[in-house]
Amino acid sequence: MNLFDITPVRMEDAQGAWLPSFLRALLLRTQFSHSRARALGWRGLRPSLAFGESWTCRIAGRPGIFGLLFEGEEMTSEGLRGRFSLHLFPDPGDPRAELLPLDAAVTAQRPDYWDLVREFQGRDETRASFRLGTLEMTAAADGRSLALVLAAPTRRKLISLDGLEWPPGSGNHIVPPGGLESNLAAFGPALRFFRVLAATVTHVLGRAPRTRSLESLPGWIQWRRGAEVFRGKDEAVRLLRLRLEYGEAPAGAADGPPHRQPWDFSHDPAWFEARDPGGRENLPELLVLTGFLGSGKTSLLRRFVEHCLQRDRFVAVIQNEIGAVGLDGKLLERDSQVLEMDEGCVCCSLSGQLKKGLARILERYRPDVVVLEMSGLANPKNLLAELRELRDLVRRGPLVAVAEASGLEELLHGSEVARDQLAAADVLVLNKRDLLDPDRAEQSRAAAQAVNPRALVLEAEHGDIPFGLLHDPTLAREGLAWDDLLPHFHEHGTHAGEGFAARTLLLEAPVPAEALGPALERAAARAFRVKGIVDVLGEECPVLVQAVAGRLETSPLRGHARPERFLVCIGRELPEDFAEALARDLEVGRA
């Protein structure tokens, strides 16, 4: 065994700390194979160099996000020893979040909680409140041995000597004086992370640890009085130190529990084969999302991403847009990995790029689900040949079609693309149900079922459906049989054939407030769909513009840091100078 086979840089030649670069190289080796990473237990891994070397990740079977932060290294008689703090950030809906100290519980309910988690390295209060324990890594100077140590208390207990009143000053104690403010298991969750990390070390080194030991030491409890926190020993709490040693065992070393853990077997190819005999179950599922312009696909997609994140499933999204600039990816990018394919449809002018784009995402990330969100004017039936090239990369998931319930009959009568979108669906979502009375809603359902009597039909408001149905293995996936081997020759309708086109206006200056509304109303009267982001004179944040079939909505887009400002107009037979005319109406120039 030679650690310098993993990273060729010697300790004495390292520019900065050596152990974080070693750990980074070790983790990177396991992320090249999606099936191997999943078998080891990884469900997403994100390194960061901001505020110090750190990683955030998700682990199989443990909701929430783990954080690992490098704290420093020093040379000892055993070798180079480094310390990493280990943290767990629970999902806001996890019962564990209610057992956190009050400041951490409040943080977990903040709208920007996940942004704070991504930046935990630079926030002392976030790190301290969510800390589980410490990871130590010691590498021999000659690279011939490595030790991993997990140190964490069995529980983290915090007693509030003053008690906690809510609301403050009300005399209503939610925690009585001297009561437990927090009582969280620490070693158990930390061991979940350690199992995955140690299995990864075993896999990369090609050998199991030579010795294992578990030491139990006196633990401690914390007290809080005012803003001061102090701690002392508590016999009911133990500090556990789990140590694994790789390489040559030192003379007289005792090999103790625990045995038969993943780190004992993950160097053996048979272990991986036993975990996934067929191989395909470890491939991410591909969900195709289609629906006509303005049907509410992106609203449904954002809810689906949130649903998956709450259940420890990472989502990657591939979007294709009509127009030179894509809006929907900019609204989703905080929640998932998004790859945009602009200026065309993946099933027509961009044919040939889907597999390349998917391979790029799978190379850099390890998603559990990949969503292909098609343009509102794309015909999914023209996608068969492209999808068949993906059989070695993904498993077939359902095709979900979103349709606006109001006006559906008229749309189906006038557009072959809209009819094919519904006909290809495994799940058909009739969205914006709240805009119809019961009789009209029943007519829309009947019109949809006439086009596709096979699909599961769900009614929704704002794209909210029972998303668990999409993971149901009994759900029929027959809309696009892209994982069969039969050739496909027939070409179906396209947006170009129906006269649809996009006109894009890139904005170089803020828009006068008094000009925005009238200009957008004129544009929406001619274009079926208008969407974009604009700066308005006198407003502190950009404005999100959405218009469908003459219905216009504008809303502030807070927290949006991307610089692009634009409007995309999509409609039938739009003149070439449509964008120029819109710029004149807005009283601004084009970028």
Full DSSP string of 171-237: S-EEE-TTEEEEEEE-HHHHHHHHHHHHHHHHHHHTS--SEEEEEEEEEEEEEEETTEEEEEEEEEE
Q: What single-letter amino acid sits at 242?
A: L
Residues 223 and 271 in one domain: yes
pLDDT at res. 257: 63
- Residue 170 domain flag: no
Decide if 493 is inside a domain: no
Classify 61 in phi/psi space as left (phi over 0), alpha (psi -120 to 50) or beta.
left
Q: With bands split at pLDDT 50, 70 and 90, how would you rate the model's confidence at 258? A: low
The CATH number assigned to the domain holding 442 equals: 3.40.50.300
User: In this structure, are residues 368 and 262 in contact, taking their beta carbons and an 8 Å threshold?
Assistant: no
| 101 in a structural domain | yes
Going by pLDDT thresholds of 50, 70 and 90, the confidence category of residue 320 is: low
- What's the pLDDT tens digit per position in 435-458? 888 888 898 899 988 988 888 899
Decide: 49 and 97 in contact? Cβ < 8 Å.
no
User: Cα-flanking dihedrals φ and ψ of residue 297, to 5°?
Assistant: -60, -45
Quick: pLDDT tens for 355-399.
877 887 887 777 888 888 887 777 887 777 677 778 778 888 888
Per-residue pLDDT tens over the stretch 87-142: 999 888 777 777 787 778 888 888 888 888 888 887 776 677 888 999 999 999 88
* Start-to-end C-alpha separation, the chain: 59
Mean pLDDT of the chain: 80
Same-domain check for residues 293 and 205: no
pLDDT surpasses 80 at 487: no
On the question of a cis peptide bond just before residue 258, with omega within 30 degrees of 0, the verdict is yes
Cα dist from 113 to 116, 130, 298, whole Å: 5, 13, 22
Per the domain annotation, does 487 fall within a domain?
Answer: no
CA distance 379 to 412: 13
Q: What is the residue whose two structure tokens read 């800390």?
A: 131
Per the listing, tokens 């140690």 go with 198
pTM assigned to the model: 0.54
Quick check: is 172 in a domain? Answer: no
Our count of domains for the chain comes to 3
Which of 350, 358, 291 is closest to 318 using CA atoms? 358
Give the separation between CA 351 and CA 345, rounded to whole angstroms.
8
- Tokens representing 513 are 């407030």
The distance from CA 225 to its chain's CA centroid, rounded to whole angstroms, is: 39
Round to whole Å and give the CA distance between 328 and 373: 10
Range of the domain at 359: 283-471
**Which residues neighbour 410 within 8 Å (Cβ) at sequence distance 6 or greater?**
none
Q: Are residues 392 and 365 part of one domain? A: yes
Looking at the structure, do residues 554 and 413 belong to the same domain, yes or no?
no
Checking if the pLDDT of 329 tops 50, the result is: no
Least confident of 125-134, 139-148, 492-501: 492-501
Q: Given this model, what pLDDT does residue 241 score?
A: 93
pLDDT in tens, 52-92: 788 988 888 778 889 999 999 999 988 999 999 999 998 88
For the stretch 1-51, pLDDT in tens is: 888 888 878 888 888 889 999 998 898 888 777 777 888 888 888 888 777
For residue 136, the model assigns a pLDDT of 96
